[in-house]
Amino acid sequence: MGDRLSRRFAEICAAEPPSDASILLRRAVVLGGSVAGLFAARVLSEHAEEVVVLERDELDPADVSGARPGAPQGVQVHALLQAGSVQLDRWFPGFSTELVEAGATTGSGDSTVTYIDGVRKASPPDVSNLCSSRLFLEGHLRRRVLGLDNVRAVRGRADGLIITAGKVTGVRHVPVESTGDSAADTGQVLAADFVVDAMGRSSRLSEWLEQAGWPRPALRRMNVDLNYATAVFRRGDELPTVNSAVSFQTPQSTFSRTTAAMVSVEGGRRMIVLAGYADNRPSRDPEEFRRACGEQPREFAEIAERCEMIGPVLTYRQADSRRRDFHRLDRLPGGLVAAGDAVSSFNPVYGQGMTSGALHASCLSEYLRSGASPTAPAHRYFDDVRVVVDAAWQTSTLADLGLPHVTGPYPRGYRIMTWLSGLVANASLTDADINHRLTQVTNMLVHPNALATPGVLLRSVRALRGQARNGSAATAAD
């Protein structure tokens, strides 16, 4: 079972573009033109004569950095996991080079700095980060997708599905400003033989299904009560060799209660986010923000002290991580899938969201190339999506369950899983091989089962014994 999951995960994470795509559909409609929707549209462009991206915001291919109300999180720091940049280059050859040429940055080895509870951790040499603002990344993605011959954007608010004889045949949509009570607000129908819900974590697809007499997917939530504050600084001559930094706190941390991350982004800027839980709310007051950076490791303190802050500190709150278990549905209309945050939305501090959305697109490609009828219920697609969601959910929720204010739900085997992950995490502070494997898992390059092998556990125990002999991990890692 474990091996099967790891193998399937590896197939979904493939880096090579597929060579066996064929046209199966007349018109596919993607609801939502954010990161997950754009990836889905790219995959569908190989299988449909026409792909329509229905989005309530104006999608301007010429605007590569503008904020938009439909994805308000866009102004917060977004880190891209390495599996995400692999998928970007898979579906958009040359994407990361193009982004860097346009101003994004990359870093690997010692230019990516990680602290756990204030202790510097070695950076595995072969993990590299592509750093840009989220808006810039999405803007370039939008330009590439809307530049495809058979993809176009339609502005409108999706309002429901047309389901005929058990299959999706269209999407109802209304003008963006519609209140629904005037003749001018009359909805329109976009015919479709395949529909992707990429409307984000607040998607109303479940309600639409229920209203049409179909079961709704179970919604699982874990309250995390997360508070974000992001500030942008002008980059100067400080820290010339540091590209990105993260200062993670475990629930046991005596160093700080605030997690911090810094990325060097386009336009010669650095973005810093401070994140706290429950009553720990990083301030939007600039001086208070700088002071809080001063309590973090030196990279944060130095930027806050030396660099000019550009614009205001912007805050954001996310109440929960959530997932919709479409894979458990026994009845589902044909020609309908969901992707991205509409399926699973995680605690953002682990940076899994955009990469998961990209991997859902890979699942879609696997499904459309599998020989399954695309207008039949997509159970096989959702089985693959579950492999991706379980992997990310396990990594992030296991860590979150250790937070004092998080009260469950606890998965079966929670205690042993926590013990094992603590063992590996502690060993990774001094053992380069364990650190490499853990980083591959946290970057979603490898399934978490790769850490649960006897070899890894034995090596971790040995590493901890070594730490005990030589003094604390902190001393060893400094």
Ligand X SMILES: Cc1cc2nc3c(=O)[nH]c(=O)nc-3n(C[C@H](O)[C@H](O)[C@H](O)COP(=O)(O)OP(=O)(O)OC[C@H]3O[C@@H](n4cnc5c(N)ncnc54)[C@H](O)[C@@H]3O)c2cc1C
Q: Which residues bind ligand X (CB under 6 A)?
A: 31-37, 54-57, 70-71, 73, 76, 78-79, 157-158, 198-200, 228, 316, 318, 340-342, 348, 351-355, 357
Residues 464 and 459: their CA atoms lie apart, in Å, by 9
Beta carbon nearer to ligand X, 57 or 433: 57
Q: Smallest gap, in angstroms, from Cβ of residue 38 to ligand X?
A: 8
Minimum Å gap between C-beta 129 and ligand X is 11
User: Across the strands, what pairs with 260?
Assistant: 247, 274
Per-residue b or e along 190-205, where b marks 16 or more CB atoms closer than 10 Å to that residue's CB: bebbbbbbbbbbebeb
Residue 130 vs 464, nearer CB to ligand X: 130
Buried b (16+ CB within 10 A) or exposed e, 25-56: bebbbbbbbbbbbbbbbbbbbbbbebbbbbbb
User: Toward ligand X, which CB reaches closer, 322 or 434?
Assistant: 322
Cβ nearer to ligand X, comparing 142 with 427: 142
In the complex with ligand X, the residue whose CB is nearer, 347 or 426, is 347
Non-local (6+) Cβ contacts of 327 within 8 A are 379, 382, 383, 385, 386
> Which CB sits closer to ligand X, 169 or 344?
344
CA 437 – CA 452 distance, rounded (Å)? 11
Q: What is the DSSP letter of 308?
A: P
Nearest distance from residue 387's CB to ligand X, in Å? 18
CA–CA distance, 320 with 126 (Å, rounded to integer): 33
Question: With respect to ligand X, which residue has the nearer C-beta, 70 or 422?
Answer: 70
Closest contact distance (angstroms) between CB of 157 and ligand X is: 4
Shortest Cβ 198–ligand X spacing (Å)? 5
- CB 203 to ligand X: min, Å: 7
Give the integer Cα–Cα distance in Å for 343 and 56. 19
Q: Decide whether 224 or 427 has the Cβ nearer to ligand X.
A: 224
In whole angstroms, how close is the CB of 54 to ligand X at the nearest point? 5
Please say whether the beta carbons of 130 and 106 come within 8 A. yes
- Could you tell me if 92 and 144 are in contact, meaning their C-beta atoms sit under 8 angstroms apart? yes
Q: Report, in Å, the least distance between residue 329 CB and ligand X.
A: 19
Q: Exposed/middle/buried for 91, CB within 10 Å: 0-12, 13-18, 19+?
A: buried
Gyration radius (Cα) of the chain, Å: 22
